[in-house]
Amino acid sequence: MEQKYMKYSVAPGKKGVVRVQELAFLRWVNFNVTKRGINIQELFNDLVDGVALINLLEVIAETKLPRHFKHPKGNFQRLQNLRVLCDWLWKTWRISLTGQDLADRNPEKVLDFVWMVILGLQIYPGGHEDPNTEQREVEARSLQEDRAMKELIDWVNVRLKGVVEERTAAEEAAPRHGGSVSNSMFLKKITLKDVKPIENFTTDIANGHVLCALVESISRQQVKVVNDPLKDVATALEKAQELFNIPALHEVKDVVEHPDTRAMMTYMSLLREHARDWGANADPASCSATGVGVKQSVEGDLAMLLVHVNDSDEHRVAIPEDRLTVEVYDSDGSPLEEAVIIDNKNGTLSASYMSKRAGMHQIKICVDGEEIKDSPYTCDVRAKERPEVDPGDDCLLSILDCHNDYHGWIDEEGTCYDKYGEISGYIWGDACGGGESEQWGYIEHDIVYNMIETQIGCVQLDRGWVRDGDNRTIAEFDRDGSFRGNTGIFGGKFEGGFSYHNMNTVALYLLLVDSSMLNDDI
């Protein structure tokens, strides 16, 4: 199979996991993109042009992504599409991914890519906003996945507890001597100790009892079980498809013999989405809001925020849009137009409003008429147009962007300024950061490392090249300070005292201080 897809091979010990996840993620993608008339056949091949994934993101997020090639021709247009979706994932959800993983058709990296989309947009949306820059990226992802799994396990166990309690009550109410117990096969075959809280999405799911219990809990219809794992899993998957229109993401045998956590979490999240409670137990004091719309926005821009709805035990619950109100008042206390609210159907609601003028805005957020935790929020709306500030007398390098417009400067001490005169970072010789206590990375022996000492690029002083972590040339400099990006397009210019001796400073600026300079326009 690997030869059919790509040049990469899969380690023998991982082939089973790759196969199970490939099937589950393929069916999950198709479950969403068929709404756009798209159906992919091979996960590792059919995502490389970015079209299916862009449509997937637009369906899930109910939004429109930036301009892209709907019918890409050639590798350049495919890579541009991948850059568009990766940039959107980072700017909107702070999900950091690289399109090269898809372009290379590496099975494990493709699966990791799709998994991060599933995790970040469906299973645990909002779990990645405002990332801690001091936390290692790998650790941050693992923490997000652990939290998502705990939240999903808690949801399953609440549902199981309800089924067990109902069945126990029915058994106690039945005639004790003679007569019949008006109950399902579920009651007769599975006792209280059989259906116990789960701790994982592998062995605790494999016998089919939990899946049957969940389907029964959501549908309120009795589900017969026969204590045969293959048959019971098949019953649960078939019933879920029949009653909820949720596709079976697994082959029955895989659930029993080759259970996989990520694949099962994806399936469980579809069940949870269908079974959303409408937040009967929503507790305003346990709800919160995140996003630029409650922190800092720009005048004239659409400000977005995400409301997390929880019960008193901090478990996420879902509510319809009419139970949430978002009132926005500008700097003089005048109310703005009503915010637009969208139910994400997973325990979060998105809201957006237009901040028409600069100043401190008050955001009052209520669930069922009662203000949520920390409401009212204060949003600092900054003026959209600010006067540009010319470089100071101590300017070492003046910076132009890809349109040859003034972008900022670096002074002789290594302080980096944007065109408005605000400090964007500091470069101290072969290191850079946001201040003395906040280091972002450094250069050692021409290799650029980030704060967690991962190689993110390198410098070739004699050729004026800057390469990324995959050893691709992302900036090629001429001796006048102008450079071309990875597509050969003019990327900008460092004027003034530029020479190849400044390449370390320039590389730190491009890779760590202001990577937006490396984003080629489509």
Q: Residue 217 is which amino acid? A: S
User: Is the pLDDT reported for residue 74 higher than 60?
Assistant: yes
Helix (H) / strand (E) element for 361: namely strand 359-367
How far is residue 324 from each of residues 290, 348, 517, measured CA to CA in Å? 15, 11, 40
User: Is the pLDDT reported for residue 190 higher than 50?
Assistant: no
CA 361 to CA 294: how far, in whole Å?
Answer: 9
CA 410 to CA 396: how far, in whole Å?
Answer: 6
State the pLDDT confidence band at 183, using cuts at 50, 70 and 90. Answer: very low
User: 445 exposed, middle or buried (CB, 10 Å; 0-12, 13-18, 19+)?
Assistant: exposed
The dotted CATH code for 284-382 is: 2.60.40.10
Q: Give pLDDT, residue 168.
A: 66
Q: Give pLDDT, residue 11.
A: 65
Mean residue pLDDT across the chain: 83
User: Is the pLDDT reported for residue 63 higher than 80?
Assistant: yes
pLDDT (tens digit per residue) in 266-311: 999 999 888 764 455 788 999 999 888 888 888 878 888 889 888 8
DSSP structure class, residue 375: P
User: Is the pLDDT reported for residue 156 higher than 70?
Assistant: yes
Q: Give pLDDT, residue 373.
A: 92
CATH superfamily to which 2-123 belongs:
Calponin-like domain (1.10.418.10)
Q: Domain residue spans in the chain? A: 2-123, 137-174+182-274, 284-382, 395-518
User: Is the pLDDT reported for residue 181 higher than 50?
Assistant: no
Same fold, 2-123 and 137-174+182-274: yes
* Cα 263-264-270 angle, rounded to 5 deg: 100
pLDDT (tens digit per residue) in 479-488: 999 999 877 8
CATH superfamily to which 137-174+182-274 belongs:
Calponin-like domain (1.10.418.10)
State the pLDDT confidence band at 226, using cuts at 50, 70 and 90. Answer: confident
- Lowest mean pLDDT of 99-108, 120-129, 416-425, name the range: 120-129
- What residues contact residue 448 under an 8 Å CB cut-off, 6+ apart? 441, 442, 455, 456, 457, 458, 459, 507, 508, 511, 512
User: Whole-model pTM?
Assistant: 0.52
Q: Which residues of 5-21 are buried (b: 16+ CB within 10 A; e: fewer)?
A: bbeeebeeeeeebbbbb
Mean pLDDT score, 375-380: 91
Q: Give pLDDT, residue 171.
A: 60
Q: Give pLDDT, residue 377.
A: 93
CA 507 to CA 513: how far, in whole Å?
Answer: 9
pLDDT (tens digit per residue) in 230-253: 999 999 999 999 888 899 999 999
State the pLDDT confidence band at 21, using cuts at 50, 70 and 90. Answer: very high
- 296-298/377-382 β-pairing: parallel
Q: Give pLDDT, residue 187.
A: 39
Whether 407 and 439 have beta carbons less than 8 Å apart is answered as no
